[in-house]
Amino acid sequence: MTAQHEIKCNRNAGIRTVRHDYVMKKVLAKIDHHRHPRPVDKAHGNLPSSDKLEKPDIEFQYQNATYVLDVTFAVEANICNAFKGKILKYGGTYGDNRVIPLVLRYNGTVYEKSMNLLTKYLPEITDSFLSKHCCLAVARANEETKLRYTSLITNALHDETIAIKHGQKRDRHATGRRAPRAPPGLEGVGARQEGEAQGNAGSGGLGTTADN
């Protein structure tokens, strides 16, 4: 699976969340408590938008001002746009110079512009710390991918087996199906007509239309 496919495929939305949340929680726990770090969410009363997806991940204090950090993974071709996109997305609410986009590559390295901002505002979040947990996050997401796709395949095979069994059962019922009952008052008509036709055929009669 290519990184680009992994990013865009709708089936992987949950896997992307696993990877993102792992890094976000590790970073949150690592920020010095004197900076008063906290998640941006409804529970903390600091959600800037009614849409829960339109929010940064972490809020912290630096020189009596509120800064925000947002974690994202990006392929190399899109890494610069990913960085600029976070500033554009949250700059109107917090100010462009107070948004720290934490852009990570899938190989565990940090985008250089992100690292420069971390060095200035959050020096406790080091390159080695991020590389370690980024790789662990990717490994966890890959394991989750294997489990989910194995489950999908297993369920698909199970459904197909059930469908085949039902089909075989219908075929058996079809070959052994009893003739439909005649309407009331006509119960013996079909049998009499069949007997008369056989009698005519045996005596040299015209037989049935199909025979002609």
Cα distance between residue 126 and residue 204, in whole Å: 104
Chain segment 59-102, per-residue pLDDT in tens: 999 999 999 999 998 888 899 999 999 999 999 889 999 999 99
CB atoms within 10 A of CB 45: 7
Domains of the chain (ranges; CATH) run 3-150 (3.40.91)
CA distances from 209 to 168, 197, 202 (A): 35, 11, 15
Q: Within a 10 A sphere around the Cβ of 85, how many other Cβ atoms?
A: 16
Distances 101 to 40, 70, 76, 164, 171 between C-alpha atoms, Å:
14, 5, 15, 52, 62
pLDDT digits (tens, 9 = 90+) for 155-211: 777 777 777 776 666 666 666 555 555 555 545 555 555 555 555 555 444 444 444
**What is the pLDDT, as a whole number, of residue 17?**
83
Q: For residues 173 and 15, what is the distance between their CA atoms, to the nearest angstrom?
A: 45
pLDDT digits (tens, 9 = 90+) for 130-168: 988 888 887 777 777 666 667 667 777 777 777 777 666
Q: What confidence score (pLDDT) does residue 5 get?
A: 60
This model's pTM is above 0.75: no
Residue count (the chain)? 212
Instruction: Using alpha carbons only, give the angle 53, 83, 43 rounded to the nearest 5 degrees.
Output: 30
pLDDT value of position 181: 58
- What pLDDT score was predicted for residue 198? 53
The token duo for 187 is 């119960």
Tell how far CA 121 is from the center of its chain. Answer: 34
- How far apart, in whole angstroms, are the C-alpha atoms of residue 66 and residue 94? 8
Cα 74 from Cα 19, distance rounded (Å): 12
DSSP-assigned letter for residue 11: G
